Amino acid sequence: MSCTALTRGRSIDCRTSAGGVKAIYLAPLSAATLVVSNGEVTDLDLSPVDLFKYELKRGLASVTETIVGSTENGSIYYTPSVNIKLHKLTKEDQNEIKLLATQRLLVFAELNATEGGKNVILCLGRNNGLELNSGTATSGAALGDMSGYDFTFDGQEIDPMAIVEPYDTVPFDNSDFTVTVS
């Protein structure tokens, strides 16, 4: 059996890229129905479950996807990871974090990077979900230190992360999407 042939090369692009994550959106994986075509989420149904938005301060969140291959076993998989920092320790956040830690989550990361004037949104954990597997709650030591949470959601997927089809006006307002953002 032969492998699929390569389909294209890549030239050096213009210097128009921006790093960082603007917001993440979380929903239980079990509540999601999505369609991915050619690496793009083209249909999403989360009804009646909400997609919960976490707005993030600039420079306090990142998305990483590592390709893990084994020459000996002939296998390859992907390990998506989302790291976020949230300022301030609260009892409401403590209770929500406890719930987050019990879930397999579908995670969308709205990047600062844009395409066609709209922020790029990545979809992570579409098959197996991401889990909150590490994190800290800290008071900081000095007056200027961060007091808050630092969490990492990670997983293992057979497919790489997908990019969400561009939205019309606001994220997830696509005509084929049935989503309520809270």
pLDDT at 126 over 80: yes
pLDDT at 4 over 90: no
Average the pLDDT over 123-131 and give the result: 97
* Per-residue pLDDT tens over the stretch 7-28: 878 777 777 778 899 999 999 9
* Per-residue pLDDT tens over the stretch 47-89: 878 899 999 999 999 999 999 999 999 999 999 999 999 999 9
Q: How many residues does the chain have?
A: 182
Q: Output the pLDDT for position 80.
A: 98
Average the pLDDT over 120-148 and give the result: 96
Long-range contact pairs involving 143-146 (C-beta distance under 8 Å, separation at least 24): 146/85, 146/87
Q: Output the pLDDT for position 7.
A: 81
pLDDT at 180 over 80: yes
18: region left, alpha or beta (phi > 0 left; psi from -120 to 50 alpha):
beta
Asked if 180 and 108 touch (Cβ cutoff 8 Å), the reply is: no
Asked if 122 and 164 touch (Cβ cutoff 8 Å), the reply is: yes
Q: Output the pLDDT for position 128.
A: 97
* Per-residue pLDDT tens over the stretch 160-171: 999 999 999 999
